[in-house]
Chain A
Amino acid sequence: GESVGLHLPTLSVQEGDNSIINCAYSNSASDYFIWYKQESGKGPQFIIDIRSNMDKRQGQRVTVLLNKTVKHLSLQIAATQPGDSAVYFCAEKKGGKLIFGQGTELSVKP
């Protein structure tokens, strides 16, 4: 079946280091992807998105890379800060709806 999944359920990084969160998708027809951040006890918050006609998109301290050949999506966070600690979800557009992955918990050590 089609699914959106994450390679690692947890990721621990040192403050100031760069973080890379990965996501695999199986629907080669997906044309839109989004990364969300969810802090404890809160709703998901939009971080960045990318369309399938792009390979890379940059935001403030975040970069999303899309590799359509291997159906892989990644979120890079530069100079990770304690406030980046959260669960990160990727989502793909499928049939007009968003399908969310399971999430990766990012923990930032001071």
Chain B
Amino acid sequence: NAGVTQTPKFRVLKTGQSMTLLCAQDMNHEYMYWYRQDPGMGLRLIHYSVGEGTTAKGEVPDGYNVSRLKKQNFLLGLESAAPSQTSVYFCASSSGGIQTQYFGPGTRLLVL
């Protein structure tokens, strides 16, 4: 099993550009999450999904959109990137609730 994978690993955007981060998991997990991690801070939840076709807002959802068209994939979109969205983005999945979340390796995003 590959677990949780994320693409791309690193990306540089200009302000106003858009992009989509892809998260995939092969553990048949129902729940999936997107977090951002900034220097000296813990992870903050952006959006999450409790099943295919469902999404919900987390702690810091503004400026992001998500989609869960397939159970194994969770996409995070930035429609108009801003420098404040420079961060490391982590995807996670879990079988149920939030008991144990398995994290991907992260995507480093730099917005100039």
Interface residues of A (CB under 8 A from B): 4, 9, 32, 34, 41-46, 49, 89, 91, 93, 96-103
**Do the beta carbons of B100 and A46 come within 8 Å of each other?**
yes
**In the complex, are the beta carbons of A44 and B97 less than 8 A apart?**
no
A103–B42 contact, CB under 8 A?
yes
Q: Which of B97, B98, B100, B106: most chain A CB closer than 10 A? A: B98
Look across to chain A and name the residue whose beta carbon is closest to the beta carbon of B105: A43
Q: Which of B14-22, B43-51, B65-73 contacts A (4 or more CB under 8 A)?
A: B43-51
Closest Cβ–Cβ distance, residue A40 to chain B (whole Å): 11
| Residue numbers in A under 8 Å from B42 (CB-CB) | 4, 89, 91, 99-103
Complex Cα gap A91–B35 (Å):
13
Q: Are B103 and A49 within 8 A (Cβ)?
A: no
